[in-house]
């Protein structure tokens, strides 16, 4: 099962076009997939005191989080689709990671705090991002947060592998043709 984790509030966005194209590609290939749409599903990224009581045990009272964990447990491939805001992930996605990738579900820790990832069944991950900044600019001048924090420090730490990052920069200033070429190019990547 493939799981698309979609993160954008506006249906008229380029990200929504990426979501539509991704679903079209997967349907054409007769792949089974499910979609987690964090804005549409009104996911609350804030950790509340009632939830934090469970955190150190790797548990949650939040049924939506438990449902997302079940979806990830049944997935062999993830496709993240989100805009790069302030050279990083949107806050709602950070909250999703904080609340869903819990200890004893996504990782274990030894007595020294060294993590061992448990989501090793997820063998393929596509991170599809859009933003005004091009990839080279984010990598060289802005700390490379998507690669260093989101991909290496988070996804790889919980055991995911086969991670590829696809980015379209200059979204505000690029032509319709360039955006269309990016969308069409997804077919050979997914």
pLDDT tens figures, 42-53:
999 999 999 999
Residue 183 has phi, psi (to 5 degrees) of: -60, -45
- Give pLDDT tens digits for 124-181: 999 999 999 999 999 999 999 999 999 999 999 999 999 999 999 999 999 999 999 9
- Confirm if 99 and 53 have CB atoms less than 8 A apart: no
Options 3.40.50.360, 3.30.70.141, 3.40.50.720, 3.90.1150.10; CATH of 2-185? 3.40.50.360
Q: What is the structure's pLDDT at 87?
A: 97
- Give pLDDT tens digits for 68-93: 999 999 999 999 999 999 999 999 99
Instruction: Specify the DSSP class assigned to residue 8.
Output: -
């Amino acid at each position: 099962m493939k799981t698309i984790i979609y993160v954008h509030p506006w249906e008229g966005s380029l990200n929504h076009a990426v979501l539509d194209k991704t679903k079209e590609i997967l349907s054409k290939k007769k792949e089974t997939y499910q979609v987690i749409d964090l804005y549409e599903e009104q996911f609350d990224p804030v950790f509340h005191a009632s939830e934090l009581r469970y955190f150190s045990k790797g548990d949650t009272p939040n049924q939506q989080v438990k449902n997302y964990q079940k979806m990830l447990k049944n997935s062999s491939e993830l496709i993240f689709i989100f805009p790069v805001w302030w050279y990083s992930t949107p806050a709602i996605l950070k909250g999703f990671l904080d609340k869903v990738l819990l200890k004893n579900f996504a990782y274990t820790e030894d007595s020294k705090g060294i993590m061992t990832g448990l989501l090793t069944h997820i063998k393929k991950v596509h991170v599809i991002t859009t933003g005004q900044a091009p990839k080279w600019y984010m990598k060289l001048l802005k700390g490379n947060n998507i690669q260093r924090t989101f991909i290496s420090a988070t996804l790889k730490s919980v055991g995911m592998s086969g991670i590829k990052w696809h980015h379209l920069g200059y979204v505000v200033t690029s032509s319709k043709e360039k955006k269309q070429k990016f969308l069409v190019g997804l077919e050979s990547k997914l």
